[in-house]
Structure 1
Amino acid sequence: MRHIPNLLTVLRMLLTVPLAWLLRDGRFDTALIVALVAGFSDALDGFLAKRFSWQSRLGGLLDPVADKLLLIACFVGLAEVGALPVWLAAVVIGRDVVIVSGAVAYHNLVGPLTAEPSLLSKLTTTLQIVLVLATLLHLSRFAEWPTWFNLALLSAVTFTTLASGIDYVVRWSFKAWRETHPQRSDPQ
């Protein structure tokens, strides 16, 4: 039973393929349903892991990977059909590449890494999800948004994505510096 959260996470990863295919084919109603199922599975696996103490190191690694795969598939798919700007997809993917590259470098050069998402990073992910869902709702014709709402959401996602990417680089660079250059006490 304790592996159910990890199985849900793997399911979420597998949903990336049909989601990307549906977006590319312009089947936005079905893509919205798949995205909602993925979101529900994310909430469910988190709830189960915490409620029954089924957390695992593997789950801690797989969960953010599944989230990133889905978001990247959505941003690329929505940019491909012209629903989101290509440059925004590049910013979102670029941030994730920088974070993953930094994490690998830290692990290899400094030592074991414990994932510590910041509040800004959580806000960024939340805004990215809201933008994807709002765009899918709009494309599915379930909801119409005023132009100012779309521009505000695009601006917020752009700003927080860039800011959180910079924040990760600065924070983890300082942390790596402190780990590799410990303070020396003055001999007296």
Structure 2
Amino acid sequence: MIRLIGAGGRPGQEAAELDTFWTIPNIITVVRFLGVPLFVWFIVQQQYAAAVITLVVLGSTDWVDGYIARRFNQVSSVGKWLDPVADRTALIVIAITFVVDGVAPAWLVWTIVIPDTILILNALILFRGPLHLPVTNVGKIRTALLLVGSPMLLLHRVPGFNQEWLIVTAHIILIIGCVGHLIAFYGYFTAAHRKYRAERTPVPGEGAVDDA
């Protein structure tokens, strides 16, 4: 899975970071984000097969935009914060929709929403605004597991796919993904406090008066 996460990168070559929104990966991210309300509409209409397909597209494009960014040197400063924000927002909306519709138990929402809420409040208190930290491998794996487990769980609602092994497997994947979410939360929380302390620590010699 680690090799899939870093796919597209060129060993020994560090791509320049683009200072523009208009890149193919960013456009894919925006389109993926716009697919979230479409997914909600399919759930409301109880069109579960279409909702599953939408989730699969959302999950696959999350990997595609990262691959394109690394493979074709289209990593941008905007994309570094836009992609994780879109992922987290999508996961929260999907989890809430699942619970409201009775597809998933309430613990799925609380495990995702509470840590993310704490991170947002933590950033607002420490930095007076959003904090965009580099996405960790644990965070990427967490997102991948949740985006795989979610359509599998929903697939159980599609006629002809109501096998018990499917829902059991989906729950196992989602539980592992939620554990990863908590581990990623701890990593981001501690990283935010390390950054805060580093910014408040005076640089040696800075502000010293030259008596010469």
Displacement, 1:53?
Answer: 1.3
Tell me if 1:125 matches 2:122: no
Displacement, 1:46?
Answer: 2.0
Instruction: Tell me what 1:177 maps to.
Output: 197
Contact 2:119 2:189 in 1 (8 A): yes
Given the two structures, how large is their TM-score scaled by the length of structure 2? 0.72
Contact 1:24 1:80 in 2 (8 A): no
Counterpart AA for 2:179: F
Instruction: Tell me what 1:38 maps to.
Output: 58
Contact 2:84 2:135 in 1 (8 A): no
Given the two structures, how large is their TM-score scaled by the length of structure 1? 0.80
Structure 2 runs not aligned, ≥5 long: 1-21, 206-212
Of the structure 1 ranges 129-138 and 154-163, higher mean CA displacement relative to structure 2 is found in: 154-163
Instruction: Tell me what 1:7 maps to.
Output: 27
C-alpha distance after superposition, 1:104-148 (max 9, x if no partner):
445448xx9552222332232222222212212222243634365
Instruction: Tell me what 2:6 maps to.
Output: none
1:102–1:5 Cα change, 3 Å: same
Identity %: 27
Structure 1 runs not aligned, ≥5 long: none
The equivalences for 1:111-150 within 5 A come to: 115-140=133-158, 141-142=160-161, 144-146=163-165, 149-150=169-170
> Secondary structure of the residue that 1:139 maps to in structure 2?
coil
Runs of 4+ aligned structure 1 residues displaced above 6 Å come to: none
1:24–1:150 Cα change, 3 Å: same
Of the structure 1 ranges 72-81 and 47-56, higher mean CA displacement relative to structure 2 is found in: 47-56
Instruction: Tell me what 2:88 maps to.
Output: 68
1:150–1:30 Cα change, 3 Å: closer
The number of residue pairs the alignment matches comes to 182
Contact 1:106 1:113 in 2 (8 A): no
1:52–1:143 Cα change, 3 Å: farther
> Secondary structure of the residue that 1:15 maps to in structure 2?
helix
Displacement, 1:173?
Answer: 1.4
For the aligned residue pairs, the C-alpha RMSD in angstroms reads 2.7
Contact 1:16 1:69 in 2 (8 A): no
User: Which structure has the larger Rg?
Assistant: 2
Of the structure 1 ranges 24-33 and 143-152, higher mean CA displacement relative to structure 2 is found in: 143-152
Displacement, 1:31?
Answer: 0.6
C-alpha distance after superposition, 1:33-74 (max 9, x if no partner):
111222233233222222221221122222112222221221
Counterpart AA for 1:12: R
**Equivalent of 1:157, from 157, 177, 191?**
177
C-alpha distance after superposition, 1:59-94 (max 9, x if no partner):
222211222222122111111111111232122022
**Larger helix percent:** 1
